[in-house]
Amino acid sequence: MTLIETWVQTPPAEAIGWTLFHSLWEGALVALVLAAAFCVIRSSRARYAAACLAMLVMLAGFGSTFARLMPRQRSHVATIASMAWAPISLLSSWTPPVRANTA
């Protein structure tokens, strides 16, 4: 099993995947609200402020969705630490391929 296959099967990777999926419809909803606000707002400063607020709402939505989907059985520090040490355990069983001499 490769490093990517090992990492993709972890709960944090699954949470990131579902968070990205949910961010699509959350972003579309924020964009619809922003478009409705643009129909009402005529000032360029107010439009700019509304657009900045929409981006902050999308960022906050992404963060809250990820926090809600992240598994709670272990602390986040332990999860991240176990992910950091995964490559070392995979590399300890790795052996370099044997090359035949062609000269």
CB 39 within 8 A of CB 45: no
Per-residue pLDDT of the chain (103 residues; tens, 9 = 90+): 788 888 888 888 899 999 999 999 999 999 999 999 999 999 999 999 999 999 999 999 999 999 999 987 655 555 555 555 555 555 556 566 666 666 5
Which burial class, exposed, middle or buried, applies to 22 when counting CB atoms under 10 A from its CB (0-12, 13-18, 19+)? middle
Count of CB atoms within 10 A of residue 42's CB?
8
Report yes or no on 14 lying in a domain: yes
Which burial class, exposed, middle or buried, applies to 79 when counting CB atoms under 10 A from its CB (0-12, 13-18, 19+)? middle
Range of the domain at 66: 8-92
Report yes or no on 87 lying in a domain: yes
Report yes or no on 15 lying in a domain: yes
Report yes or no on 82 lying in a domain: yes
pLDDT confidence of residue 30:
97
Report yes or no on 17 lying in a domain: yes
Based on the structure, what is the number of domains in the chain?
1
Report yes or no on 81 lying in a domain: yes
In this prediction the pTM is 0.63
pLDDT confidence of residue 5:
80
Mean pLDDT over each residue of the chain, to the nearest integer: 83
Looking at the chain, how many residues does it have? 103
Report yes or no on 2 lying in a domain: no
